[in-house]
Amino acid sequence: MGRDSCEAPFISPATLRWLFLAVIVVVWELVPRLGLVPSVMLAPASEAMIAGFQDFGTFARALGITFGQLASALIFAYGIGALAGLLLGSVYFLRETLLPIVSSIYAVPLVIVYPLLTAWVGIGPESKVIFGALYGFFPMALSVAAGVQTVDRQYILAARSMGARTSQILFQIMLPASVPSILSGLRIGGAMTAIGVVVAEMMAATGGIGFLITQNRTMFNTAEVYFGIFLVLILTGLLDMFIRLMERCFTNWYPKET
């Protein structure tokens, strides 16, 4: 088959994509309604929405709790992560010894420490904030460290030849050069913090959207479970959009990806 036959397709790739999406939504709606799949497994999309909006007060309260915990966790994840990343990336001794250890720990499934947190501080909001911050800490620290240590040596040499002082090199070269990796740390770290908070709520909690999902699951309220998941996706989607917006403001000197 010649490659040229791909050049003028029957329908454009974008159309095919939307068509496929539409088919999925229709199948999702019809399969449980026609009884092809038990309704416990899959609730029709419309039913999930209706169930959610009927009980919107409960969901809104849960979302509020999650949002508050997420905001506190982000402060710790970003703050401590950026500081640790800066030290790990720029101090030669730490970069050579501690940084590899930290990046190895990244491979550990951090969920296993959650029972420890609940044993220590209980199943209230504190354990969610700590766990979320822990989840976001590693990507944030590792991104910042990578950004700081990969600053092009040529920039520093050029600045020194023009008489830049150490503080000028730090603030006018190192910092702006690390902005892209700091922003990607904010983005990945933010997403991980959100996952951490929700996962913690799912496992043991007294409130929050993750707790609500688990509660509805144990009662086999499939429609409500789907609506809860939908809300989490919206929450993380908004967080991601917010950080991307910041990214666009700070990195106008970057060739834009298409």
Partner 1 sequence: MLSSSYRVLVQAGIVLILLGLWEAAVFSGLADTRTLPPPSEIAIHIVALLGDQDVLYNLWITSAQVGLAFLIVAPVGVAIGLLLGEHEYIGRAFRPFFYFLAGVPKSVFLPVFILTFGIGFTQKVAFGIFQAIFVLVISAIAAVGSVSPTLIKVARSYGANRWQLYSQIFLPAMMPVVIEGMRLGMIFNITGVVFAEMYVARAGIGHMIATWGMSFQMPQLFAGIFLTAFLSIAVNEVLRWYERRVDKWRK
Partner 2 sequence: MAEVTDSMAHAPISSEKFDLSVEQVSLHFETPNGVLKAVDEVSFGVETGRFVGLVGPSGCGKSSLLLMMAGLQKATFGDIIVEGEPLTGPRPQDVGVIFQESSLLPWKTASENVEFPLALRGVDKAERKQLATDMLKLVGLSGFEDRHPFELSGGMKQRVSIARGFCQDPRILLMDEPFAALDEQTRMTLGDELLRIWEGHRKTVVFVTHSLTEAVYLCDDVIVMSAQPGRILERIEIDLPRPRTYETMATADFGRLRDRIWRLIRGSE
Binding residues for partner 1, rule: CB under 8 A, are 6, 9, 13-14, 16-17, 20, 40-42, 96-98, 100-101, 104-116, 118-120, 191, 194-195, 198-199, 202-203, 210, 213-214, 216-217, 220, 222, 225-226, 228-229, 232-233, 236, 240
Q: Which residue number, 68 or 176, has a Cβ lying nearer to partner 2?
A: 176
CA distance 133 to 69: 10
Name residues whose C-beta falls within 8 Å of residue 119's C-beta, 6 or more positions apart in sequence: none
Q: Please, what is the minimum distance in Å from the beta carbon of residue 146 to partner 2?
A: 17
Q: Does 161 bind partner 2 (CB under 8 A)?
A: yes
229 dihedral zone (left: phi>0; alpha: psi -120 to 50; beta): alpha
Per-residue binding letters, 188-217, with partner 2 (x by CB under 8 A): ------------------------------
- Using the rule CB under 8 A, which residue among 102, 126, 176, 230 binds partner 2? 176
Q: Please, what is the minimum distance in Å from the beta carbon of residue 172 to partner 1?
A: 28
Please, where are the H alpha helices in the chain?
A: 13-33, 45-54, 56-90, 92-105, 114-121, 125-149, 153-161, 166-169, 175-203, 209-218, 222-250
Q: Please, what is the minimum distance in Å from the beta carbon of residue 92 to partner 1?
A: 9
SS3 204: coil
The interface with partner 2 within residues 124-153 (CB under 8 A) comprises 152
Q: Does 61 bind partner 2 (CB under 8 A)?
A: no
Q: Please, what is the minimum distance in Å from the beta carbon of residue 116 to partner 2?
A: 43
Q: Does 87 bind partner 2 (CB under 8 A)?
A: no
Q: With contact defined as beta carbons under 8 Å apart, do 249 and 183 qualify?
A: no
Q: Please, what is the minimum distance in Å from the beta carbon of residue 84 to partner 1?
A: 15
Of 130, 102, 99, nearest in space to 115 by CA: 130
Number of residues near partner 2 (by CB under 8 A): 22
Picked from partner 1, partner 2, none, the partner binding residue 111 (CB below 5 to 8 A depending on kind) is partner 1
SS3 152: coil
- Side-chain-side CA neighbours of residue 126 (13 Å): 8
Q: With contact defined as beta carbons under 8 Å apart, do 183 and 250 qualify?
A: yes
Picked from partner 2, partner 1, none, the partner binding residue 254 (CB below 5 to 8 A depending on kind) is partner 2
Question: How far apart are the two ends of the chain, measured CA to CA in Å?
Answer: 30
Q: Does 154 bind partner 2 (CB under 8 A)?
A: yes
